[in-house]
Amino acid sequence: MGFDISALSAYTEENATEFFSRSVLGSKVAQTMHLMTGIKSAMAIPTMDLGYDLLQSDTDCTFDDGGNDLVIAQRTITPVDIKINEKYCVKELEPYFTQKILSPGGKYDDVPAELRLFDMMIARINKSVELALVRGVLGGASAISSFNLFDGMIETASNDIAAGDIPAAQQLTGALTASNVIASFRAMYDALPLDAYLNVATDGDWKIYCSPQAKVNYARDYQSDNGSLPYNTDFGKDFLDNTTIEIVALAGFAEDDSQAILTREGNYWLGTDIGGEENDLTLALGAGSEARDLFLTGVFKMGIQTRFPDEMVVNNIS
């Protein structure tokens, strides 16, 4: 008897949008960004700012303009075209599923083969998107070609530094080692501008994004200083001591364990056409000479941009 996956084409077509949403938008970093769907080309992100010098002495009946401009500007997010093209030999797939899915006494109906395959694909695409959203450099020369498709968080911050949008006082170079990381993270907090301090005090959506090793170093540094793990650890989340700023480890930062970004959740905007009418995913057997080949193909757009770079603090990013 053969391993029949001929029904997979209909399965994927019926669930294409769900598959894209779970796989492309399911990564940890994607879920912390402000999502804009249905974006086909460049999209302007509006920004607004107003000064704080609003109070005047009320000693007479004159009306004096306080001189505080309401600054309305915009930043552009430009998603790029991305595709998924993979080819698998069914003869190689058959023994994998036969041996790994079926337990003694089990039946194929217990664990649908296509569900197993989809879960595996979702996990892999999640990982690829997670790394690219952090480490990507548009037109770069990384050996991992996924990183060359669009600018990720680190490169976007680097571009903002080059453009002068992140003030020099918010560009730090601290070491994130087990003996220095607490001091470096505290220095990032201390470098926040007034606007950010007001938001940190009222909102719990600020993050320090760093490598997994840097997060481990923070716990080690705290334990070394205090004899215990950070007291404000809550259900798997770690927070910068005496603040509501969560320390979030992202795999994409692992290439340089000294890099970190402090910003508000949602300050990075993620533009994609997922959910639009042009999403397409097919998983189907070939024909003719490729009758034993399984093809996974898909197309979508993706790109990110920061909305308020002047409220960010970066560490070892240039």
Of the candidates 158, 112, 111, 151, the one whose C-alpha atom is nearest the C-alpha of residue 133 is 151
Rounded to whole angstroms, how far apart are CA atoms 163 and 318? 11
To the question of pTM greater than 0.85 for the whole model, the response is no
Does 63 or 315 have the greater pLDDT score?
315
Amino acid at residue number 9: S
Domain positions in the chain: 8-44+73-315
Q: In this predicted structure, what is the pLDDT of residue 266?
A: 85
* pLDDT of residue 22 exceeding 70: no
Q: In this predicted structure, what is the pLDDT of residue 50?
A: 64
Of the candidates 318, 52, 23, the one whose C-alpha atom is nearest the C-alpha of residue 197 is 52
Enumerate the H helices of the chain as residue ranges.
8-14, 16-24, 28-31, 90-101, 113-135, 153-162, 181-190, 194-202, 212-226
Q: What are phi and psi of 305, to 5 degrees?
A: -160, 150
Residue 123 pLDDT level (bands cut at 50, 70, 90) = confident
Q: In this predicted structure, what is the pLDDT of residue 213?
A: 96
Residue 100 pLDDT level (bands cut at 50, 70, 90) = very low
104-108 average pLDDT score? 44
